[in-house]
Amino acid sequence: MTAKILDGKGLAQEIRAEIKVEVKKFIEENDIQPTLAVVLVGNNEASKVYVRNKERACNEAGLKSLIFRLPAETSSKELLELVRKLNADASIHGILVQLPLPKGIDEKLILDAIDPEKDVDCFHPENVGLVSQGRPRFLPCTPYGIQQMLIRYGIETVGKRVVVIGRSDIVGKPMGMLLLQKGIGGDATVTICHSRTANLVEIAKQADVLVAAIGKAEFVTADMIKPGAVVVDVGMNKIKKDIVDENGEKKLVDKLVGDVDFNGVKEVAGWLTPVPGGVGPLTVAMLLKNALTGAKRQAAK
């Protein structure tokens, strides 16, 4: 058996095309352009790439993006001041503070300061609480994207055993909450595993759907997978790997891999996401969806 590929990149393009149509209609009906403010602090190269991708995605979908670039020396107080200004600006419908923040800045303090009505990352405690109760204002972008992938590929979750490896506030915990909820893309029986879980291999092997979000390169191996299971790889890890070039010479190169050993797992799983091109593009697509939702909510008031 060789797993079928869950093409997150292609699906994200489809969703972004739908959002573009929605944005155009919203602008025509309300004379308001949905606007996302992105705050980038410091010089983290990966963060710069992510922000550029979000800016490009906004522009392609017809949303306005405002990028605020601040030096690494920015204090928590200065960043809080900017967040409060963005909160008070009625022309801004979504605020995203790119993580990680430089050392010395209180991350939780900043994220908690974002107006919950503009919290398009769904990190604010108020929004997390609403998600847990099944009445979300916004949905967390990566879990939202994964749920959409399962729905649109026709992968059943009702009554299925889902194992999430990783308990982060960004992916693991909210992923479990979404799949537990009643309705489409939910009604699953969910187990969340982590670094202290006993018998992890045995638990993982019971999963009809396994979501790997532990942040360890190629941690999930073929012996952890139930034959035919759906495997979703959230990981993005840069490692050194030996390759043989066109001249037959061995070289040590940087390679981007997930939390799943792709080559081994593909021989056991029924469905599998690649890295890159799996979950990442969907995260950006759902961010656009949340920004549009913020604009619609604000216009309705």
pLDDT 10s digits, 92-102: 999 999 999 99
Res. 124: pLDDT tops 80: yes
Among 290, 291, 252, 242, smallest CA distance to 35 is for 291
The pLDDT assigned to 254 comes to 84
- Give 222's contacts (C-beta < 8 A, 6+ positions apart): 261, 264, 265, 267, 268
The Cα–Cα gap between 239 and 286 comes to: 28
Domain ranges in the chain with CATH number 3.40.50.10860: 31-115
The pLDDT assigned to 248 comes to 79
Res. 75: pLDDT tops 80: yes
What does the block give as tokens for 214? Answer: 């532990």
The pLDDT assigned to 1 comes to 66
Res. 87: pLDDT tops 90: yes
The pLDDT assigned to 99 comes to 94
The pLDDT assigned to 250 comes to 83
13: annotated active-site residue:
no
Q: Which member of 64, 118, 119, 121 is catalytic? A: 121
Mean pLDDT of the 257-283 span:
97
Q: Tokens 């999430």 identify what position?
A: 164
Q: Tokens 């604009």 identify what position?
A: 295
The pLDDT assigned to 40 comes to 97
The Cα–Cα gap between 185 and 203 comes to: 22
Q: What is the reported pTM?
A: 0.94
Mean pLDDT of the 138-149 span:
98
Angle between helices 141-152 and 8-30 (to 10 degrees): 110
Domain ranges in the chain with CATH number 3.40.50.720: 141-280
106: annotated active-site residue:
no
When pLDDT is cut at 50, 70 and 90, the band that residue 123 belongs to is: very high
Q: Which of 70-79, 242-251, 269-278, 289-298 has the lowest mean pLDDT?
A: 242-251
Mean pLDDT of the 80-90 span:
98
Task: Tell which CATH architecture fits domain 141-280.
Answer: 3-Layer(aba) Sandwich (3.40)
Residues of the chain above pLDDT 70, percent: 100
Q: Which member of 54, 118, 160, 289 is catalytic? A: 54
Characterize the bridge pairing of strands 237-244 and 250-257: antiparallel
The pLDDT assigned to 82 comes to 98
Q: Are the C-beta atoms of residues 45 and 59 closer than 8 Å to each other?
A: no
The pLDDT assigned to 243 comes to 78
Could you tell me the CATH superfamily of domain 31-115? Leucine Dehydrogenase, chain A, domain 1 (3.40.50.10860)
Q: Which member of 98, 147, 181, 298 is catalytic? A: 98
Res. 86: pLDDT tops 90: yes
Q: What is the pLDDT of residues 150-208, one digit of tens each?
A: 999 999 999 999 999 999 999 999 999 999 999 999 999 999 999 999 999 999 999 99
- Give 10's contacts (C-beta < 8 A, 6+ positions apart): none
Average per-residue pLDDT in the chain? 96
Tell me the sheet residues that pair with 253: 241
Q: What is the pLDDT of residues 214-255, one digit of tens each?
A: 999 999 999 999 999 999 999 999 888 877 777 878 888 888
Q: What is the pLDDT of residues 41-71, one digit of tens each?
A: 999 888 998 999 999 999 999 999 999 999 9
